[in-house]
């Protein structure tokens, strides 16, 4: 790679300019963004599954409508980010193939089961809450199409988080059984939500390069701490106990200090050994196969339109 081009590229990043699809960029930058954006898109699509399981069992029409809207939003986010990834010159079909044959990663959080209705509240609150903390910063990423996608996506994630927290606050103020149900759901999702931010900074091979090129603007640990600081007071406000005996407020730093994360669990989930990895991929493969006729019809229609416009 031409050192002069690289120096000009890095100067643009240092000046806070955004990099656009037709601009020159180092191959490594393109590769890192393709990796991160495609993993992100896959996460949105696989992320529809745990909540999709509960649409038919929502306790009221109002809850069902918001849950359907939320799951549909996640589909939109996935498609939007696949489009963003295509601006880097990759073909979406290749990315989808990599997901379906198990080569691609997606967020660890979606490999956990949804066992009760309270999980819908806790996912909205914690999982979408964590996504907002991460993605608000990505809205300032150096790659223009990704940053712009994050602006819109964060607006929708805010709605998701609010509907989740509202479900939790209603349950937490409900009958003893409802309170127990939401606490139990919170207990299961708390630690996996902290793992969403990725390995600790000392163990994050991609961070240095992504920070240098301003794709990431904060480290995994910084964002995790921000999420904990925002979430603990919300839990206290509705009478939920955080399942961490080491949790304590440090008045000097203003941080809620938390206990050790079980990284062996995290790496097992990444290797495909989480509670639902197999189930999630099977569900995606089935959905893809079931959609074959739609893709065939859309392709045939596009070809017919093209033939008509060329005559």
By CB under 6 A, residue 285 contacts ligand ACO: no
Where does this chain touch ligand ACO (CB under 6 A) — which range of 38-46, 50-58, 164-172, 302-310? 38-46
From candidates 49, 120, 122, 131, binder to ligand ACO by CB under 6 A: 131
User: Which residue's entry shows tokens 């989930």?
Assistant: 269
CA angle 115, 47, 169 (to 5 degrees): 55
Residue ranges of the alpha helices (H) in 15-54?
Answer: 27-46, 48-52
**Binding-residue pattern over the window 164 to 203 for ligand ACO, x denoting contact by CB under 6 A:** -------------------------------xxxxx----
Task: List beta partners, residue 248.
Answer: 257
From candidates 38, 107, 114, 231, binder to ligand ACO by CB under 6 A: 107
Nearer to ligand ACO, 173 or 273 (CB): 273
CA distance 168 to 191: 17
CA distance 181 to 174: 10
Neighbours of 116 (CB within 10 A): 17
CB 296 to ligand ACO: min, Å:
29
Q: 261: phi > 0 → left, psi -120 to 50 → alpha, else beta; which? A: beta
Where does this chain touch ligand ACO (CB under 6 A) — which range of 34-42, 182-190, 278-286, 301-309? 34-42
Three-state secondary structure call for residue 213: coil
**Binding-residue pattern over the window 237 to 276 for ligand ACO, x denoting contact by CB under 6 A:** ---------------------------------x------
Nearest Cα residue to 228 out of 268, 201, 252, 261 = 261
CB 302 to ligand ACO: min, Å:
29
Residues lying near ligand ACO in the complex (CB under 6 A): 35-36, 39-40, 43-44, 47, 105, 107-108, 131, 134, 195-199, 204-207, 210, 220, 270
């Amino acid at each position: 790679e031409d050192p002069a081009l690289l120096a000009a590229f890095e100067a643009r990043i240092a000046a806070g300019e955004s990099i656009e699809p037709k601009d020159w960029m180092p191959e490594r930058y393109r590769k890192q963004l393709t990796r991160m954006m495609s993993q992100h898109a896959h996460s949105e699509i696989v992320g529809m599954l745990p909540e999709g399981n509960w649409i038919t069992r929502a306790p009221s029409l109002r809850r069902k409508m918001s849950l359907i809207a939320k799951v549909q939003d996640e589909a939109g986010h996935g498609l939007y980010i696949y489009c963003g990834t295509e601006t880097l010159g990759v073909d979406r079909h290749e990315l989808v193939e990599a997901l379906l044959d198990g080569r691609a990663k997606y967020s660890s959080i979606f490999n956990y089961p949804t066992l009760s209705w309270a999980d819908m509240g806790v996912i909205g609150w914690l999982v979408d809450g964590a996504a907002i903390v991460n993605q608000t910063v990505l809205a300032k990423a150096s790659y223009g199409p990704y940053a712009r996608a994050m602006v819109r996506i964060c607006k929708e994630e805010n709605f998701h988080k609010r509907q989740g927290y509202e479900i939790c606050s209603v349950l937490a103020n409900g009958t003893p059984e409802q309170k127990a149900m939401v606490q139990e759901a919170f207990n299961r999702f708390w630690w996996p939500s902290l793992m969403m931010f990725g390995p600790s900074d000392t163990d994050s091979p991609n961070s240095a390069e992504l920070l240098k090129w301003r794709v990431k603007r904060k480290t995994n640990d910084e964002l995790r701490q921000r999420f904990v600081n925002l979430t603990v007071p919300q839990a206290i406000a509705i009478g939920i106990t955080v399942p961490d005996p080491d949790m304590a407020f440090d008045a000097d730093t203003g941080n809620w200090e938390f206990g050790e994360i079980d990284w062996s669990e995290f790496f097992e989930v990444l290797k495909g050994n989480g509670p639902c990895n197999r189930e999630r991929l099977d569900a995606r493969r089935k959905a893809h196969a079931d959609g074959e006729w739609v893709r065939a019809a859309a392709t045939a229609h596009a070809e017919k339109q093209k033939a008509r416009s060329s005559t």
